[in-house]
Structure 1
Amino acid sequence: MRAILCREPFALERVERPEPVAGAGEVLVRMRRVGLCGTDYHIFAGNQPFLSYPRVMGHELAGEIAAVPIGSSLTVGQRVTINPYLACGTCIACRKGKPNCCTRIAVLGVHTDGGMQDVIAVPERAVIAADDLTLEQAAMVEFLAIGAHAVARAALSPGERVLVAGAGPIGIAVALFARLDGAQVTIIDTRASRLAYARDRLGFDDVVTVDDGIRDALSSRTDGDFFDGVFDATGNIHAMRAGLNYVANGGRYVLVSVVPDDLIFADPEFHRRETTLIASRNALSSDFERVLAAIRSGDIPTDALHTHSVAADDLPGDMSRLIAEADHVLKAIVTF
């Protein structure tokens, strides 16, 4: 069985491994598509804070059932996606219904080997039927669930002003679900090409390039009030620190990005706004369900989100190219 292994930063290689054997309560899934996201690029570059090498990456997964335990409701050959957040089920977070931040969480492709391999064994509870989705759509469910979860955390009301910092896949996912919740969405980024794509292909009319005049530009758009909800999806500590400046008094600041650094705010500014600071980590089953419903209803333009495809055997040579061309890559999907 082939797998794509990241041995150390900037070192992807194809390796041969024994085919996995399903344990009690586990399903074997033959991988067909694996989406690439910022986490994978950070793993490749060596700046993902929760990972140790070597690691088989891949947590945006679509495949077909290869084997099931006796009595399973799943069937061999069935198309599925996978919830990659494997929780313990007993810790304080799990007991509170928040397995996305389980104290012993094992995220496929980060804490444990993921889906960049021909076959993977996963708990049956992590497998989600996706018969009526294309394989490409099924591979995009997880990253969209990240955005849906962040928006749910903010508890937006229709008509509220929302700022999304970062027009990469996660930022776009946030923007899509904020728009579905009736918010007025503004997107900012340093990359004009990504903003143009969000405007021209995804219908976000209010996009602003980050420069020295960004605060004045955002102030003028909101009559000086700024935004009821600000979401950071930049993965950049400097942008995360600056985001507080764009939160309206009484507003919410939702941090979707994770970086290996200290996040510091000016306390007077934080208190003056009585800011609600919210971390958003991973996603819940309810977020996956919302994404599936939105894809099925046509509310998510999945064809426009999927911009690049790469064969699994070509990925070790193509990963650096995809990162170098990040301004023009929204969602790349690996084909097995």
Structure 2
Amino acid sequence: MRTVVCAEPGHMTLEQRDPPSCGEGEALLRIRRIGVCGTDIHAYGGNQPYFSYPRVLGHELAGDIVEVGTAGDPELIGQRAYVIPYLHCGQCRACRNGRTNCCQRMQVIGVHRDGGMCDTLAVPLDHLVVSDTLELDQLALVECMAIGAHAVRRSELTHGELAVVCGAGPIGMGVAQLARERGARVVVIDTNPERLAFCRDKLGIELTLNPSENDIDAALKTLSDDELADVVFDATGNPAAMQAGFDLAGHAGRYVLVSIVKADITFSDPVFHGKELTLLASRNATRVDFDEVTRLMESGRLKADAMITHRAELADVPERMPAWCTPATGVVKAMIELDDSPRQSTTGAPS
């Protein structure tokens, strides 16, 4: 089968490998869609923690179930499904407490073990979710949106609170939409005017700020009667921005770090204590978050597929990946397609 391998930072190859076998408790998924996310981009650039090379990337996955292992339900064959890519041990303290997203022995498909940039992948049956309603593109985006759902749930955001989302990439866009579902007033901050316009025009996020054009502190104080944000979410993947986010939260506020970077993050302890801030990390997502996103997608309340701006067939990924990692190309979300009859690769914007 075809397999795209990230051999080392900045270098991908198309290889032929033997297809996987289907073990007990597993299913074979014929991959149909692969969303390219920030984790893949950081891994390609050599900036992803918990990572080693060579590695087959890809964890935003959707496809058709073509085989089930021993004791598996044969009626699953032929159904469409998405993948929950976080393989947890079920035994550590985090798992015992229902926090499977931060398992002590976590194995993420496409990060710790080879992922879905291939024709067929063996996946544990309990990590596949079937849907008769969602299209393939939507199925491949559930994981991305679940990251946002988990961050918002971690924050305990409530109706009417001011939520500031720093970073208008796909994760930030997901956080913003899920925060809006909680009834919060949502502000998105980014230095990219095209991304901010996308949030306004495509996602309906009315309040956006650009640090290059706006006084962020003054704007947030105006929106909050000088009290700043109730909750700040960082989805920038930028250490400087992550440190600056502490200043955007008001007294008794919460700061949720959705981004993860290979860097140390520092803050002023007197300011942190003076505001009595709550600092939270948000890693991955749980089944509860996936179920919430699935429900909202099926009801049409989330505009996840609007984020897809670029497309390519699997064989073209090594050539396309450098452009997808370049902000100037206008990529919001790239989607890899694997169809029965491979069609010419297309893009929603220049590749």
- Give TM-score, length-normalised by structure 2: 0.93
- Runs of 4+ deviating beyond 6 Å: none
Paired residues in the alignment total 336
Aligned match of 2:314 in 308, 312, 315? Answer: 312
Could you tell me which amino acid in structure 2 is paired with residue 131 of structure 1?
D
Distance in 2, Cα, partners of 1:20 & 1:280: 32
Aligned match of 2:302 in 297, 300, 303? Answer: 300
Distance in 2, Cα, partners of 1:22 & 1:186: 46
- Structure 1 residue aligned with 2:342: none
3-state SS of the aligned residue for 2:264? coil
Distance in 2, Cα, partners of 1:262 & 1:302: 32
Question: What's the CA shift for 1:210?
Answer: 1.6
- Structure 1 residue aligned with 2:9: 9
Distance in 1, Cα, partners of 2:328 & 2:77: 37
Question: What's the CA shift for 1:308?
Answer: 1.7
Question: What's the CA shift for 1:218?
Answer: 2.4
2:172 aligned with 1:177, yes or no?
A: no
Distance in 2, Cα, partners of 1:326 & 1:7: 25
Aligned match of 1:331 in 330, 333, 342? Answer: 333
- Structure 2 residue aligned with 1:41: 41
- Give TM-score, length-normalised by structure 1: 0.98
Distance in 2, Cα, partners of 1:18 & 1:104: 28
Q: Which moved more, 1:26-35 or 1:72-81?
A: 72-81
2:137 aligned with 1:117, yes or no?
A: no
Contact 1:88–1:105 (CA<8 Å) still a contact in 2?
yes
Question: What's the CA shift for 1:107?
Answer: 0.2
Could you tell me which amino acid in structure 2 is paired with residue 244 of structure 1?
F
3-state SS of the aligned residue for 1:239? helix
Distance in 2, Cα, partners of 1:310 & 1:215: 41
**Aligned ranges 1:90-105 → 2 under 5 Å:** 90-105=91-106
Question: CA 1:84 to 1:300, structure 2 compared with 1: closer, same or farther past 3 Å?
Answer: same
Contact 2:145–2:304 (CA<8 Å) still a contact in 1?
no
**Aligned ranges 1:16-95 → 2 under 5 Å:** 16-73=16-73, 75-95=76-96
3-state SS of the aligned residue for 1:314? helix
Distance in 1, Cα, partners of 2:154 & 2:10: 35
Distance in 1, Cα, partners of 2:154 & 2:26: 31
- Structure 2 residue aligned with 1:210: 211
- Structure 2 residue aligned with 1:219: 221
Distance in 2, Cα, partners of 1:218 & 1:326: 29
Question: What's the CA shift for 1:80?
Answer: 0.3
Distance in 2, Cα, partners of 1:252 & 1:288: 23
Could you tell me which amino acid in structure 2 is paired with residue 29 of structure 1?
L
Q: Percent identity?
A: 48
Unmatched segments (≥5 aa) in structure 2? 339-351
- Structure 2 residue aligned with 1:143: 144
3-state SS of the aligned residue for 2:20? coil
Q: Which moved more, 1:7-16 or 1:218-227?
A: 218-227
3-state SS of the aligned residue for 2:164? strand
3-state SS of the aligned residue for 2:325? helix
